[in-house]
Structure 1
Amino acid sequence: MPTEYDKLVRDRIPELIDATDEQPVIHIADDEEYADRLAAKLTEEAVEYQDSRELEELADVLAVLHAILEDRGRTMADLETRRREKRAERGGFEDRIVLERVEPE
């Protein structure tokens, strides 16, 4: 019985499946589908990191970020610039502040 995945996978996954004497069924995403699948993959990897807290899962998040940036014609430097701007505007997370609620005065 086949196992269904219907998700974006790393480039060598079909080759690795072939090596197990199973047959991967794949298609190549067009530009719009690829962008959508990358966004879904980012969520998938973030949830996996949230569940495991493992460095390997965080590396997967970073790999997806690199792919999204490349797909959008942007660089890590562009992302880092925006990160710094937001930090200057709104701060970082070093103070560990948890906002519980906002009450009217």
Structure 2
Amino acid sequence: MTEYDKLVRDDIPEIIRANDERPVTHVAEGDEYRERLREKLFEEAAEFRESGDPEELADVLAVVAAIRDAEGFDAEEIDRLREEKADERGGFEDGVVLERVE
């Protein structure tokens, strides 16, 4: 038996059953669901940080989209806010690293 206690993709229990194992699950809703999505974002971001694999980055984006939907945020509004912040403070394309302020 292996303990996980984490949010997984919807089809994972069926995949586990196909391997002749028995998943024990529950459906997270409301505050629990939103909190588990935030945890999942850190998990997926750490996996991308470690591997640099574009598949892991796709997982990060999938979790971000799920958070957006769970929170009821409008995709266009989020994109507008991202662009607005980039206009005000710049993006990350130049690779600027702030070492200190003296």
Which interval holds the TM-score relative to the shorter structure? over 0.9
Report the alpha carbon displacement of residue 71 of structure 1 after superposing the two structures with TM.
0.5
| Cα distance in 2 between the residues matched to 1:93 and 1:63 | 21
**Hey, what does 1:74 align to over in structure 2?**
73
Q: Segments of 4+ in structure 1 off by > 3 A?
A: none
Do structure 1's residue 45 and structure 2's residue 44 form an aligned pair? yes
1:1-105 equivalences under 5 Å are 2-103=1-102
Q: Give the structure-2-normalised TM-score.
A: 0.96
Report the number of matched residues: 102
Q: Give the structure-1-normalised TM-score.
A: 0.93
RMSD: 0.8
1:46-66 residue CA offsets vs partner (Å, 9 max, x unmatched): 000000001000000000011
Identity %: 58
| Cα distance in 1 between the residues matched to 2:13 and 2:89 | 43
Q: One-letter code of the match for 2:42?
A: T
Q: One-letter code of the match for 2:100?
A: R
Question: Which structure would you say has the larger Rg?
Answer: 1
| Cα distance in 2 between the residues matched to 1:75 and 1:61 | 18
Gaps of 5+ in 2: none
Q: One-letter code of the match for 1:10?
A: R
